[in-house]
Amino acid sequence: MIPQNDIIMHSSKQTSTWQQQLADVVTSAEQLAQELELPAAYLQAAQQASQDFAIRVPRAFLERITKGDVNDPLLRQIWPLAQENSPPPAGFVLDPLGEISSNKTPGIIHKYHGRVLLITNGSCAVHCRYCFRRHFPYGDNALSSQQWLEALDYIKQRPEINEVILSGGDPLTNNDKRLFGLIKAIGEIPHITRLRIHTRLPIVIPARITDELVDNLTQSRLKIVVVVHSNHANEIDSEVAACLKKLYRAGIHVLNQAVLLKDINDDLTSQVNLSEALFDCHVLPYYLHLLDPVVGAHHFEVKQSDAQNLMLALQGHLPGFLVPKLVREVDGRPSKTTIDTPITPISSL
Ligand SMILES: *Cc1c(COP(=O)(O)O)cnc(C)c1O
Ligand code: SF4
């Protein structure tokens, strides 16, 4: 017998569209604290921090958090702690990747050979507290139609570019009309062969992966790569798994990038479980990013030597194709910087 609660929960999720879920995100610290049964002592700091970078959590994500557990690895990604409000340590800045200075044509970030990031919009369904774009001037990147044409023109005029990466914010928060129009316009540029979509929507609002979206992607002449962003196996529930498998069955390559986060996924078990859970849905781990030193996120930082030791252990536990590349982004370099795995553990200083 199926408990009745399950039936009710299941049907309420199925009837709410991704647009409704996007409109229904939780943005108040009080409401989160109440629904997740968090201690009252945590509330004030969260309220203060959310004035700098608002709280935003889709219900589908919230439902995977264990009530009353302040150490829940999903909670820690979205709940502002008091440390966000403390003065930043040396080296933590507002724009760690220099994106504001490489952002000469609105909407375009062109730092690497052959590929450009297209900032399609500024909004995300979820606000991740460690996000390096938490201070990014998105307002300036909400493009007018004229600016769209200029951004596409930038790509057209550079035959050395063969890949366009839709980024944001989250490109899948765009409505279908806008998104499909953009994909079509990119498909019409002859030298573009690949379209990559960097998105957290399949993880936080899996209902976004509609049949219409999948059809549109598979009908494009472009090779499509979807890079999702999941940091912990607990994020991958049955709905997320179904959405990831759907992309795979449609012939879309799906990769994952994660951020290495202190006390969230910086241990061997978390990383092994994440890789296994991803591959169960046919997703391959791609990058594991060291934290970008952005103001307000220093408490998420994992020391590079600890990260390297973790990679050594991970390689001892998983096949090579399930081990992500440990990378850091260094401003001014022509690619992400890969961090070598040591031969023996690095001793802590
Ligand atoms: C990360 C990034 C890319 C993509 O890099 P890959 O190594 O190809 O995944 C492209 N442009 C910018 C500005 C980036 O930050
Ligand atoms: S989804 Fe990505 S861009 Fe958006 S807040 Fe999270 S880390 Fe930042």
Question: Within the chain, how many helices (H) and strands (E) appear?
Answer: 14, 9
First to last CA, the chain: 57
pLDDT 10s digits, 76-121 = 999 999 999 999 999 998 888 777 666 678 899 999 999 999 998 8
Does 347 score more than 90 pLDDT?
A: no
Please give the CATH architecture assigned to the domain spanning 108-338.
Alpha-Beta Barrel (3.20)
What is the Å distance from ligand 2's center to 123 Cα? 9
Which ligand is in closest contact with the Cα of 127? 2
Q: What is the DSSP string of 282-338?
A: TPEEEEEEPPP-BTT-GGG---HHHHHHHHHHHHTTS-GGGSPEEEE--TT-SSPEE
Nearest-angstrom CA–CA distance, 242 and 5? 21
Domain with CATH 3.20.20.70 in the chain: 108-338
Cis peptide before 169 (omega within 30 of 0): yes
pLDDT score of 96: 84
Q: Which ligand is nearest to the CA of 120?
A: 2
Q: Is the pLDDT of residue 21 over 90?
A: yes
Residue in 109, 128, 287 to alter for ligand 2 test, most ligand atoms within 8 A of Cβ = 128
CA dist 295 to 67, 346, 348, Å?
Answer: 29, 28, 26
- Can you give the pLDDT at residue 2? 44
Comparing CA positions, the residue from 239, 210, 214 lying closest to residue 224 is 214
Q: With beta carbons less than 8 A apart as the criterion, state whether 309 and 273 touch.
A: no
Torsion angle of the four alpha carbons 145, 147, 148, 149, in this order, in degrees rounded to the nearest 10: 90
From the CA of 334, the nearest ligand is 1
Looking at residues 219-226, what average pLDDT do you find?
Answer: 98
Residue 40, CA distances (Å) to 33, 36, 43 in order: 8, 11, 6
The CB of 134 under 6 Å from ligand 2? The reply is no
Residue nearest to atom 13 of ligand 1 (CA): 111
* Bridge partners, 326 (sequence order): 288
Query: pLDDT class for 36, splitting at 50, 70, 90?
Result: very high
Tell me the CA distances in angstroms from 97 to 91, 94, 101, 257, 285, one per residue in order. 12, 9, 9, 17, 23
Model pTM? 0.94
Q: Which of 124, 68, 81, 56 is nearest to 300 (CA)?
A: 81
- Read off the pLDDT of residues 163-177 as tens digits, 9 standing for 90 and up: 999 998 899 999 999
127 CB near ligand 2 (under 6 Å): yes
Averaged over 56-65, what is the pLDDT? Answer: 98
- Ligand minimally distant from the alpha carbon of residue 172: 2
The alpha carbon of 121 and the centre of ligand 2 are apart by a number of angstroms equal to: 12
pLDDT of residue 94: 87
DSSP 8-state code for residue 70:
T
Mutate to test the pocket of ligand 2, among 22, 84, 121, 124 (most ligand atoms within 8 A of CB): 124
**Residue in this structure with the two tokens 């939780």, named with its chain if needed:** 26
- Residue 170 CB less than 6 A away from ligand 2: yes
The CB of 259 under 6 Å from ligand 2? The reply is no
